[in-house]
Structure 1
Amino acid sequence: MVFAGALTAGAVTGSLPDTAQARRLDANSRSAEAGRATGKPRPEDVRRAAAEAMAKGESPTEAAEQAVSRSGDRWAAVYSEDEYAEFRDALDGEYTGVGLWAKRARDGKVTVSRVRSHSPAADAGIREGDRLRSVDGHGVDGRPVTEVVSLLRGNADDASAGTPVTVGIQRGADSWSRTLYRARLSTDPVTVTDPVAGVVVVRVSAFTKGSAKAVRDAVRRAPAGAGVVLDLRGNSGGLVTEAVATASCFLDGGLVATYDVDGAQRALHAASGGDTARPLVTLVDGGTMSAAELLTGALQDRGRAVVIGSRTFGKGSVQMPTALPDGSVAELTVGHYRTPSGHAVDGRGITPDLEPGPSALKRAETVLTGLGDPR
């Protein structure tokens, strides 16, 4: 839950890649240019404010939160040391939680958007679509998803596997409470199904470490001539390096995205050797965010995939993690990505090639049939 919630809140857009080279790349891309141009606090400003507060015997974390709140940066966040450690674990493909994903509707109500199989939430009978009313007696209506995540995780003393958390659930006219016990769970971000002959559906729920390899393995195992549906619906992002590596599964090198650093344009490129012949459809929706949008834009602009669905979320920004004196971490938006054709994603999203119709998957199967027709 902490992982999904963090991503849903947009806390990751390539800020924590999984190789030293990529870490240097992202550190370069997250320059202070945006701060200088807009007057928003730069990472060094937040760090300085935290250090000055600590020297006065005040809370560095609170000082950082105040600086972030003044920034007007909708994606900025401050994490405690424990929260950030859990966050890093999530990007490595593991997290401690109850195995449910949540989203907040426009009316402020929080609903369960997904339940991981064989998780504490699934074992308790919680289902997708249930309303989450409370966590340990705290009402969650109107709260940001990040706060709901924090309640589900607990504080530093009770956020470990085996600790209890009581959730209030409503389904239709029925409501009840269940005490769940947190567990160490793997994110399992990639699932593969074969709903019809000649079509393989590869669903990527998040770009955690190893997700690109799982996609590549699925493509290589697919029968010769079979089309692929890359389902990125509800994928709220993750590691940009994994998204680029996933693009490499379908491209033979070339541009994936660009970004600016101190006025100079930089670029991310796919590796050579991807499968460029297999028919490909990408499914997206309003929950497709961040690194998932970067991948979608690359495949669409490069003419590699037909994109089906609804307009994506529109989060094309990059956050930089800044370590504070007390071990907490502040993140500020410091850059924005563009697709190969120069399309700015942030605040705009990506417009699909085709609408989904009654069933996005059925439409994808129809499109793949046409793409695979040698006539």
Structure 2
Amino acid sequence: MVRPLLQATAIVGALALVPIANGAMAQVDSDSYRELDTFMDVYNRVRASYVDKVDDKVLVKGAIQGMLAALDPHSSYVDALDFDNMRIATEGNYGGLGLTVTMIDGAIKVIAPTEDTPAARAGIKAGDYITHIDGKLIYGGSLDEAISQMRGPANTKVTLTLVRPGQEKPITATMTREIIVQKPVKWEVKDGIGIININTFSAQTGADTRAAVAAIEKALGHKPLGYIVDLRENGGGLLNEAIEVSDVFLDHGEIVSQRGREKTDIERYYAEAGDLTQGLPIIVLVDAGTASASEIVAGALQDHHRAIVMGERTFGKGSVQTLLPLGPETALRLTTARYYTPSGRSVQEGGIEPDLKVPQISDPDYKDRPVFREADLRRHLINEAKVDNSVLEDDGKPDPRFTESAEALKKRGIEDFQLHYALQTLGRLGPAPRAVATAAPAKKR
């Protein structure tokens, strides 16, 4: 036991001065020494007494992951597989099912299925829990292991067993893997209105949004009545792409600010002159799956009174993660700041309340399906500047426009009520132009 104790002393001594992000050195106090002594005591006891011989790399990785998990749900240790997953998230193209998932208390939970993928066609929904893959229980395994099992060569089959809150019987879905090509932006024109469906904020989202605006005008031969920017079930992505997308619709002003640990640690981002849509009316569609970078866009357009935000309250992820490299293929994904909308609002926990609440009544189980948001995650960051909504009046009476059944809507050919309602709202501004063109169909739920 002498050598491990000497190693512990060396490690503790080396940590007396710890480098931090800006290159300065943070002094470790005596309390920190005591905690590090406890950690090394546990480490040595596990190495010496565990029933099987343990790989030091496994212990250290587990300790790092546990330390970061104690902070918040979005800080994590990034290894080679995580790097590959992040590359896929920002670049796209992989063999799989088209599912965005997370792990909560050892269980794999669906954040959202990507539209027009095997998962979406199989009817998998946000909030479902995946319990088995090809009949094998996956509870207690890692998120990376589950993702690896769901991915695979195109044209191969995989069966998922899912539990849906509110339903007694498990759901079994057998799907054929496909090459999932992530298209960040799709567009179409309907009733003379341009619909821009933004699915993720990856490396091309800003450029593709500008291209969609130009394509809509070209297809019509003139400017549309207005635009619907669909951010539903968009889990976010790159901050710079959210800024670029916001800038498409804004002529001036702040888009977002991010504020770190110190009061002076503030970065602000501003729109450049020139609104590509030239002031035409905009409706932004949001729901509980609208998160992070999507909330930056919705919040910026709402605060500048540039758009009507319509739908349901957003997810409420108002934190910024920075990738801090540790080696060639490892890094810390660490929460380093909170972001704020132009008016100084933090969307952390509470999300963005729509200007006009419109439920998705075309979804048969919209009333019964549990909704999953940031505030439901363990150890989520607390919003330090909560908004008091008690002054808002609510008469408690259901809006008669939102009481029609999903079956009745389907008979009228309405599969996406929120989109239908947004089209009606913009259409009241004037007569719709005659020309109608379509490209890359937008979301249907």
Q: Tell me whether the two structures share a fold, i.e. TM-score over 0.5.
A: yes
Residues 1:292 and 1:372: Cα distance change in structure 2 (over 3 Å): farther
Aligned residue number for residue 160 of structure 2: 168
Q: TM-score, normalised by structure 1?
A: 0.71
C-alpha separation between the residues in 1 aligned to 2:232 and 2:103?
17
Q: Deviations over 1:207-255 (max 9, x none)?
A: 1111122211121222413211001111110011111111111111321
Aligned residue number for residue 273 of structure 2: 272
Greater Cα shift, 184-193 or 163-172: 163-172
Greater Cα shift, 217-226 or 336-345: 217-226
Of structures 1 and 2, the one with the larger relative CO (CA 8 A, separation 6+) is 1
Residues 1:277 and 1:165: Cα distance change in structure 2 (over 3 Å): same
Q: CA RMSD for the aligned pairs? A: 3.9
C-alpha separation between the residues in 2 aligned to 1:352 and 1:271?
26
Aligned residue number for residue 334 of structure 2: 332
C-alpha separation between the residues in 2 aligned to 1:176 and 1:355?
34
The gaps in structure 2 that reach 5 residues or longer are 1-20, 45-54, 360-401, 403-416, 432-445
Residues 1:159 and 1:32: Cα distance change in structure 2 (over 3 Å): farther
C-alpha separation between the residues in 2 aligned to 1:198 and 1:163?
39
Correspondences of 1:1-375 after superposition (within 5 Å): 57-59=56-58, 60-70=60-70, 72-101=71-100, 113-114=112-113, 116-117=115-116, 119=117, 126-129=122-125, 132-139=130-137, 147=143, 150-154=145-149, 161=153, 166-169=158-161, 176=172, 178=174, 180-181=176-177, 183-194=178-189, 196-222=190-216, 223=220, 224-261=223-260, 262-264=262-264, 265-274=266-275, 275-325=277-327, 327-357=329-359, 358=402, 359-371=417-429
- TM-superposed CA distance for 1:133, in Å, is 4.4
- TM-superposed CA distance for 1:162, in Å, is 5.2
The gaps in structure 1 that reach 5 residues or longer are 1-29
Larger radius of gyration: 2
Percent identity, please. 27
Contact persistence 2:119–2:175 (CA under 8 A): no
Residues 1:367 and 1:312: Cα distance change in structure 2 (over 3 Å): same
Residues 1:229 and 1:120: Cα distance change in structure 2 (over 3 Å): closer
- TM-superposed CA distance for 1:76, in Å, is 1.4
- TM-superposed CA distance for 1:326, in Å, is 7.7
Aligned residue number for residue 52 of structure 2: none
As a proportion of its length, which structure holds more strand? 1
Contact persistence 1:316–1:345 (CA under 8 A): yes
- TM-superposed CA distance for 1:279, in Å, is 1.1
- TM-superposed CA distance for 1:337, in Å, is 0.6
- TM-superposed CA distance for 1:205, in Å, is 1.4
Aligned to 2:352, the other structure's residue is in SS state coil
C-alpha separation between the residues in 2 aligned to 1:311 and 1:177?
30
- TM-superposed CA distance for 1:62, in Å, is 2.2
C-alpha separation between the residues in 2 aligned to 1:360 and 1:179?
29
Aligned to 1:248, the other structure's residue is in SS state helix
Residues 1:102 and 1:198: Cα distance change in structure 2 (over 3 Å): same
Aligned to 2:358, the other structure's residue is in SS state coil
Q: Deviations over 1:59-96 (max 9, x none)?
A: 442232132133x3122122321221231232123344
Number of aligned pairs? 316
One-letter identity of the residue aligned with 1:214: D
- TM-superposed CA distance for 1:203, in Å, is 1.1
Residues 1:115 and 1:210: Cα distance change in structure 2 (over 3 Å): closer
Q: Deviations over 1:92-141 (max 9, x none)?
A: 233442224458999x7956953553x5657xx62344875421433357
- TM-superposed CA distance for 1:199, in Å, is 1.3
Contact persistence 2:96–2:154 (CA under 8 A): no
Residues 1:169 and 1:239: Cα distance change in structure 2 (over 3 Å): same
Contact persistence 2:160–2:173 (CA under 8 A): yes
- TM-superposed CA distance for 1:190, in Å, is 1.5
